[in-house]
């Protein structure tokens, strides 16, 4: 019998925990009731977790609870939190990849603390100088993997190449039948544009793409990201975080504007009712909960950071992302891609 995909959950991280965390878990279990290949290690206050499991009438067949006595707060600095974190749900959920066989960890807790704890416990993969933070964004043709989104403010060309290899591996693990198409985020698509670092990364990626890990599309401008011609977008953490916040703000502006227009008057409401299904499809396409979950790449085990303010649906999607990452053999894909780096 093959080993089940084992997901470690920090039940106490994020707003409205453990209620929304367990409700998201319950949603995953019920949506996948015919699957028998997953198991959950849950870390947090055992009494509160059991109360939420009972409230949701969640099957406990594939669940094991590990009682922890402290919680990392959103206000704590990484340095302060780490001093007191070894009894926390977050620390133990990450550490379970080493001591109880978890394949992946998900937490909605403090991002900075989670990143530092993950680096301390899991360590970097060989050949990776800096882990990166990746996320999934919608595009016209499906989904983009975008990285780095803030873990590394300054990067050299080698960091960007590592990000490209890891991003391509993540894309392959999630979309097995598709080809990763890598592009470097730049101020223009012409080869002469960009910093020296970007140009050096371009030359390296252009060469190693011949090995077949990914197809290299060269440079991409920010306004072309939604087109979907490239599906792995690589940049430094400063630029990536600015792009992320801009995209989130633009999406919110569009949805808020649409809501205001719809509710202006009775005539608007009547007219808009004829486009109900189209509007519902539009809303579904841009629903941020469907893309909840940033992935720490470059560590010896994968860690997913759920948005702290998401609801149970968003947390469900973060768990679903964990399941797909392990199912798609992310770590194997990363190590395979990185095996080529010393040849560059």
Strand, coil or helix: 66? strand
* 296, containing H or E segment: strand 294-297
Ordered by where they begin, the domains of the chain are 1-128+298-328 (3.40.718.10), 130-288 (3.40.718.10)
pLDDT one-digit tens code per residue, 54-97: 999 999 999 999 999 998 887 777 777 777 778 899 999 999 99
Task: Name the pLDDT band for 233 (thresholds 50, 70, 90).
Answer: very high
The HSE-up count of residue 43 (CA atoms within 13 Å, CB side) is 30
Would the pLDDT of 343 be above 90?
Answer: no
- Strand ranges inside 169-291, DSSP E: 181-185, 215-220, 232-234
Q: What residues contact residue 226 under an 8 Å CB cut-off, 6+ apart? A: 137, 138, 139, 140
Would the pLDDT of 254 be above 60?
Answer: yes
Average pLDDT of the segment spanning 163-187: 95
Average pLDDT of the segment spanning 306-319: 95
The residue among 264 and 131 whose pLDDT is bigger is: 131
pLDDT at 1: 45
Say what the pTM is: 0.90
């Amino acid at each position: 019998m093959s080993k089940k995909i084992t997901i470690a959950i920090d039940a106490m991280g994020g707003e409205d925990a453990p209620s929304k965390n367990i409700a998201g878990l319950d949603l995953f279990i019920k949506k996948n009731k015919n699957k028998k290949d997953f198991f959950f290690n849950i870390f947090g206050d055992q009494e509160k977790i059991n109360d939420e499991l009972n409230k949701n009438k969640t099957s406990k067949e594939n669940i094991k609870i590990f009682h922890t006595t402290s919680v990392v707060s959103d206000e704590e600095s990484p340095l302060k939190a780490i001093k007191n974190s070894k009894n926390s749900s977050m620390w133990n959920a990450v550490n379970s990849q080493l001591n109880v066989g978890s394949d992946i960890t998900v937490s909605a807790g403090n991002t900075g603390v989670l990143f530092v704890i993950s680096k301390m416990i899991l360590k970097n993969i060989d050949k990776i100088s800096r882990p990166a933070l990746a996320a999934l964004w919608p595009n016209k043709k499906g989904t983009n993997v975008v990285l780095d989104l803030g873990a590394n403010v300054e990067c050299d060309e080698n960091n960007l190449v590592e990000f490209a290899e890891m991003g391509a591996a993540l894309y392959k693990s999630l979309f097995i039948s598709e080809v990763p198409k890598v592009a470097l985020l730049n101020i223009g698509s012409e080869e002469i544009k960009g910093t020296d670092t970007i140009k050096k990364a371009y030359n390296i990626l252009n060469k190693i793409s011949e090995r077949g890990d990914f197809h290299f599309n060269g440079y991409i401008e920010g306004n072309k990201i939604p087109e979907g011609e490239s599906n792995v977008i690589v940049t430094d953490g400063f630029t990536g975080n600015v792009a992320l916040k801009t995209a989130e703000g633009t999406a919110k502006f569009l949805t808020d504007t649409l809501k205001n227009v719809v509710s202006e008057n009775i005539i608007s409401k009547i007219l808009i009712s004829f486009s109900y299904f189209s509007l519902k499809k539009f809303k579904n396409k841009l629903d941020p909960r469907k893309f909840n979950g940033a992935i720490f790449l470059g560590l010896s085990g994968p860690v997913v950071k759920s948005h702290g303010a998401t609801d149970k649906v968003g947390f469900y999607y973060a768990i679903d992302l964990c399941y797909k990452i392990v199912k798609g053999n992310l770590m194997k894909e990363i190590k395979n891609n990185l095996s080529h780096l010393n040849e560059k």
